[in-house]
Amino acid sequence: MDTELSNRKLLEADLRDAIKNNRLQLLYQPIVKSGEEVIGVEALGRWNHPLRGEIPPTEFIAVAERRKLIIGAWVLRRACLNGGK
């Protein structure tokens, strides 16, 4: 139980740092309508942790939601400012 709590706290601190220092990635997935017509894109946040590797969105988004970290604002700002790069 203590190890799980400690890991969660560490992940939260690392996520705060990743958001603050733009260490998340923004990828785009095409939205396709009937066949091959692309009608838009979905912006997807990804996190490649320097020590732990790829953190699944289901893991870091859950932490962000519990701690009121604003991932959506980061995604929107990143997409508008520099095309998601």
What pLDDT was estimated at residue 70?
Answer: 73
**Tokens 């508008």, located at residue:** 80
Higher pLDDT, 14 or 2: 14
Residues 62-82: tens digit of each pLDDT: 888 888 877 777 778 888 876
pTM comes to 0.73
Residue range 20-34: average pLDDT? 89
Residue-range definition of the domain harbouring residue 46: 2-82
Q: What is the dihedral of CA 42, 18, 80, 69, to 10 degrees?
A: 80
What pLDDT was estimated at residue 43?
Answer: 83
Domain count, the chain: 1
Residues 50-65: tens digit of each pLDDT: 899 999 888 888 888 8
